[in-house]
Amino acid sequence: MAENRGVAYAGPGRVELVDMDYPEFALKDGPGVNPANVGRQVHHGVILKVVATNICGSDQHMVRGRTTAPEGLVLGHEITGEVVEKGRDVEFLDVGDLVSVPFNIACGRCRNCTARRTGICLNVNPDRPGSAYGYVDMGGWVGGQARYALVPYADFNALRFPDKQQAMDKILDLTMLSDIFPTGFHGCVTAGVGVGSTVYIAGAGPVGLAAAASALLLGAAVVIVADLNTQRLEQARAIGCETVDVSRQDPRDRIEELLGVPEVDAGVDAVGFEARGHGADAAREYPATVLNTLMDVTGAGGALGIPGLYVTGDPGAPDEAAKEGSLSLRFGLGWAKSHAFFTGQCPVMKYHRQLMRAILHDRVEIAKAVNATPIGLEEAPRGYQEFDQGAARKYVIDPHGLLGTG
């Protein structure tokens, strides 16, 4: 049996490499595993040799100690890998297939899954609708920042790449299909972005940059990306976006400079609950800042796509209300402007096949857009540290040296 090793949360501000069990076709007890899931049989699953697995901003929320994640939780929900074993009930995948794994774990059988709302599957997490690998309160499915990983309901969940060699040639792009590319695209679609749209995207991290690339793919006329990080704003400009440093300029003023009016057609929140204030308040956290700004700068009748993460429990929040996910929203403003709001996990399977084709047929260079940077598994702690410090990169962990880091 092959040796397995993975990246685990080791307390606020720390991750560490740990030896871990090779996956089996059953869910074992461990950090974060819901007791009701212990012993769950996974004959419908496959075991992957992980080819690429990415560090996500959502992982950083846990690593910063901003959730109730237990120490020892193996991280990672952005998984691309090769099938090395298949369960007895798997029909349509074979050993040797190279697949992308949506970060949502979905059964394919419940009413939400059959409605393509795979982000809120009813059967994989005893606590609440929706599940993900290596994430707090998501059922305890082991994360994929490891050498090997188990994928349940594999016939339904896994997206097989049609040509393995072609896929490996574009693997840095294709690894973004597990989360951030569909998530950014979902934020734009739900905000109503289309040909000729003007779009304001809050956040120039990887999801924000993926949203920006998605807006351009969808035909937006002007994409304005906002952030406090100058390097990330430079990355946004490099892919053809306008930018605004919200520590220095009011977004409405910048939008009016660019468009002649102070509002856009569509707004996307790619920041989430750790938002900071704007202007003189940029050094402090104000969890509702982005949502309130989006309502301010999005025109009447527009929509807000909100793929940025918001949580029900944040022990590090700046006030008691925010610790329970209660924010001081100007909801009356949104109501008065007849805004539509769309929240929640991206249902990755709704988009990933089409986006795979866009990558394979050279319609988008998503790895370039997010500055994908491969690192070895042993370098993961450094990757987490640099990402937390604001590096304008999307770190792609290469557990087996297949991306040239070994």
Concatenating the DSSP letter of every residue in 114-180 gives HTT-GGG-SSS-SSSS--BTT-TTTT-PPPSSBSEEEESSHHHH-EE-S-HHHHHHTHHHHGGGGTH
Q: Is the pTM of this model over 0.85?
A: yes
pLDDT for 296 beyond 90? yes
Stretch among 180-184, 296-300, 314-318 having the lowest mean pLDDT = 314-318
Helix ranges (H only) for 201-336 are 206-217, 230-238, 251-259, 289-297, 331-336
What DSSP designation does 228 have? S
Name the pLDDT band for 1 (thresholds 50, 70, 90): low
- Using the predicted structure, report yes or no on whether residue 370 has a pLDDT greater than 70: yes
> Is the predicted pLDDT of residue 323 greater than 90, yes or no?
no
At residue 206, does pLDDT exceed 80?
Answer: yes
**Residue 313 pLDDT exceeds 90:** no
Report the pLDDT value the prediction gives residue 404, as an integer from 0 to 100. Answer: 87
Residue 311: predicted pLDDT: 85
Distances in whole angstroms, Cα of residue 263 to Cα of each of 12, 28, 134, 222: 39, 51, 39, 12
- Residue 125 scores a pLDDT above 90: yes
Q: Are 371 and 394 in contact (CB under 8 A)?
A: yes
Q: What is the pLDDT of residues 353-369, one digit of tens each?
A: 999 999 999 999 999 99
32-56 pLDDT tens trace: 999 999 999 999 999 999 999 999 9
Which pLDDT value is given to residue 284? Answer: 87
Is 80 exceeded by the pLDDT of residue 13? yes
Cα gap 222→130, rounded to integer Å: 34
Exposure string of 95-114, with b = 16+ CB inside 10 Å and e = fewer, is eebbbbbbbbbbbeebebbe
Q: Rounded mean pLDDT of the chain?
A: 95
d(Cα 390, Cα 205) in Å, to the nearest integer? Answer: 8
| Residue 213: pLDDT over 90 | yes
Domains, the chain: 4-179+347-398 (3.90.180.10), 180-343 (3.40.50.720)
